[in-house]
Amino acid sequence: MEGAYLNLDRIDIRILEILQKDAKISNIKLAEEVNLSATAALARVQKLTAEGYILGYEAKLNPKMLGANFVVFVEILLDKTTPNALDEFSDAVVQYPEIMACHMISGGFDFLVKIRCADMEEFRRISGQVLWQLPGVKETRSYPVMEVIKDSGQLHLNFKAKTKK
């Protein structure tokens, strides 16, 4: 999909920036922000969705209020990294809601996962009942987070120079 953003103009980029910050914005307000009619703004959003630029919408929840303020990053090393072993691990890891993110990485470990839970006691349970039950896990290294400084799911849309005018 690299280079796909070349099909976007400055209005498309602005719509994406606005929706990232406030997905509940009314279509009328969005249209005002980008200087389009409501019909034209809606058509743009529908096109951006159909083309896969917008994957969906979700609410950002307050983890502290919901008992999930403890964050741990865990490096996971598999016993082997054959395509089948990697696929088996990947298929299994997506089944666990305790794991918020999982990335295959290069370096000393194979995967980096992010877990949010209530506290260290709950993480110990997750470590034993989830992480060590994943297929092929040979070693883990955990990094409990002392303080979250920045945690954003928003993409930096700095493509203006390369988009169509």
Q: Which two tokens stand for residue 106?
A: 């290069």
In terms of pLDDT, which residue wins out, 5 or 100? 100
What is the domain partition of the chain in residue ranges? Answer: 4-59, 70-144
pLDDT of amino acid 5:
56
Q: Answer whether residue 18 shows pLDDT above 60.
A: yes
* CB proximity list for 92: less than 8 A, separation 6 or greater: 134, 135
Residues 6+ apart with CB under 8 A from 4: 51
Q: How high does pLDDT run on average in the chain?
A: 92
Residue 2 pLDDT more than 60? no
Sign of CA pseudo-dihedral 98, 101, 105, 107: negative
pTM over 0.75: yes
Structural contact between residues 39 and 47, judged by C-beta atoms closer than 8 angstroms: no
Digit-coded pLDDT (tens) for 107-149: 999 999 999 999 999 999 999 999 999 999 999 999 999 999 9
The gap from C-alpha 32 to its chain's centroid, in whole angstroms, comes to 29
Domain formed by 70-144, architecture: 2-Layer Sandwich (3.30)
pLDDT at 150: 93
Inter-CA distances, 136 with 14, 38, 60, 151, Å: 44, 52, 33, 30
Q: What integer is the mean pLDDT of 23-41? A: 97
* In the predicted structure, residue 1 carries a pLDDT above the cut 50: no
Instruction: Measure CA of the first residue to CA of the last residue in the chain; give whole Å.
Output: 20
Report CA-CA distances (Å) from 103 to 31, 45, 94, 115. Answer: 37, 29, 11, 12
What is the fold of 4-59? Arc Repressor Mutant, subunit A (1.10.10)
